[in-house]
A and B are shown apart, each in its own frame.
Chain A
Amino acid sequence: MSRLIKLFTVLLVLLFSISSVSAKTLTERLADGHKLRLGFGTAVPWAYAGDNGEALGFVNMIALTVLEEMGITEHETKVFEWSGLIPGINANRSDMVTGGMYILKSRCENMNFSDPIGVFGDAMLVPKGNPKNINNYQDVIDTGAKLVTGTGFNTVEAAKKYGVPDSQMLLVEGEVGILAAMKAGRADAAVQTFFGAKEHEAKTDGKFEVTDPKLMPKETLNVVGIGFRKTDVKFRDEFNKALAKVMANPAKMLERAGKYGYDKAQLPPPSMSTEWACSTK
């Protein structure tokens, strides 16, 4: 009996010692030999995992290009449920959030962002022909339609801001949940990033179509940044330096990210900086 207790205690001690919270910063952890952990959700074409867990998607491509510029060639990937990305990085479950998160004020309070890696808009996904003529949040309110989006998406905040009542909102898990809901007719329209909507349009062979992002409120144009823990300021600054270098000569980055649909139009204008986004979005 006492032997069992001893064994149990040893196990507990082992567990504690193997993986207790490291008070070290990311830079120190990398110097110790730990691999950088990229955290993202499953959002094609932004960031998703391949069959062997490789990082795919244009946000990952941009991040990896910048990391190579910094001399970091090894990394690990971790796939989260979208709403777990920020709690995850803060719980030391990942080191960089490459989900493709828009820089929003509420997010800036919980996570530091790099300089923008691109500017993107939102759009709605509707059945082909747009029978209810839904092009933005006001249309959703006016027609009483059911709007689906992902938990933790920026669009949840946006929908609330523009007055879509909770009763008309359907919250599902990520891009996959959104398309499943649309395909099953559980919602009349989906609101998501323009790229995400375009991906869904392509995947369903045109059964759904993407509305014009210009018909969405102008404020929904957002910049995307890579997320870092608040304590990893040094690493974030170095990342920004390398990002600036890559952006100055974007050919390689555009080639890698271009495979997923990212092109020159997404390059962020200098007016939309992280500080601007953190204070206004």
Chain B
Amino acid sequence: MSYFAFLAEHGSTLLLGTVTTLKVLICSMILYVIISMIFGLMRLSKNLVIQGIATVYIEFFRGTSLLVQLFWVYYVLPFFGLSLEAFVAGVMALGMNFGAYGAEIVRGGILAVPKGQWEAAHALNFSSAKRIKRIIIPQIFPIILPPAANLTVELLKATALVALVTVVDLTFEAKQINAITWLSAQCFGTALLIYYIIARFGLVPFLRWLEILAARKVGRGKA
């Protein structure tokens, strides 16, 4: 069977899977950004309890394998009373895992804001919350976006794992096609191509655009 014949017959199935992959990607991206922000800030709190909780969370999720976390959320969590839909379980595991890595990036970003900014805000009588919200956070974006971009590409690759817990995404469809037709090179090769295209021509340009936007907002962008 020629490659074109393969695409004609199985292309639509793979594309349907791709749609699910994108849904998983977007949802887990939103979740991981929120978690990164929250835990990154918590990690810098003066309150030892809050800092402790954040540290434990980050160490835990960075110290265990994503696949193990995913299977645990899907198969074991129901016995503790929480049975989430496969899609939701996948998004949760991905978001929580990558949120831990993102939290460190956010922390690094906040620490990298010049001390002068903190002092000026304090001198101008800004409340602590307002200082963080209005002055510091907007300035971390140009700093954290490059490492965050890398992390987000990692997230796209990690979404492939949800196929192992019954989510019908691109990887799942590729596996199915392989199981029935044994056209391994075609199905897995095409899957690789699709992921590559999403990453190289979708994600990376989008993130680069965000970087430029952030730099401009902070006044560091090109005129």
Contact = CB atoms under 8 A, between A and B. Distances in A.
A–B touch (CB < 8 A): the answer is: yes
Contacts of A4: 34, 37-38
A35 to B, nearest CB: 13
B191 to A, nearest CB: 15
Given A15-B88, A93-B166, A176 B178 contact: yes
A173 to B, nearest CB: 9
Interface size class of B (residues with CB under 8 A): 35 or more
Interface residues of A, number: 36
Contact of A20 (B74, B83, B165): B83
A13 interface: no
A21 interface: yes
B166 A87 contact: no
B176 A79 contact: yes
B113 interface: no
Contacts of B34: 4, 7-8, 11
A15 B132 contact: no
A80 B166 contact: yes
B133 interface: yes
16 contacts: A1-B41, A1-B132, A1-B133, A4-B38, A8-B38, A19-B88, A21-B83, A51-B10, A51-B13, A79-B172, A88-B166, A91-B76, A91-B78, A92-B78, A93-B74, A203-B182
Given A1-B132, A8-B38, A51-B13, A93 B86 contact: yes
B1 interface: no
A2 interface: yes
B166 A78 contact: yes
B92 interface: yes
A152 interface: no
Contact of A1 (B78, B86, B129): B129
B4 interface: no
Of B37, B74, B92, B179, the most chain A CB neighbours within 10 A belong to: B179
A46 to B, nearest CB: 13
Given A5-B38, A19-B83, A20-B82, A48 B92 contact: no
A91 B79 contact: yes
A34 B3 CA distance: 41
A21 B78 contact: yes
A42 B34 CA distance: 37
A53 B75 contact: no
A9 to B, nearest CB: 11
A1 B82 CA distance: 28
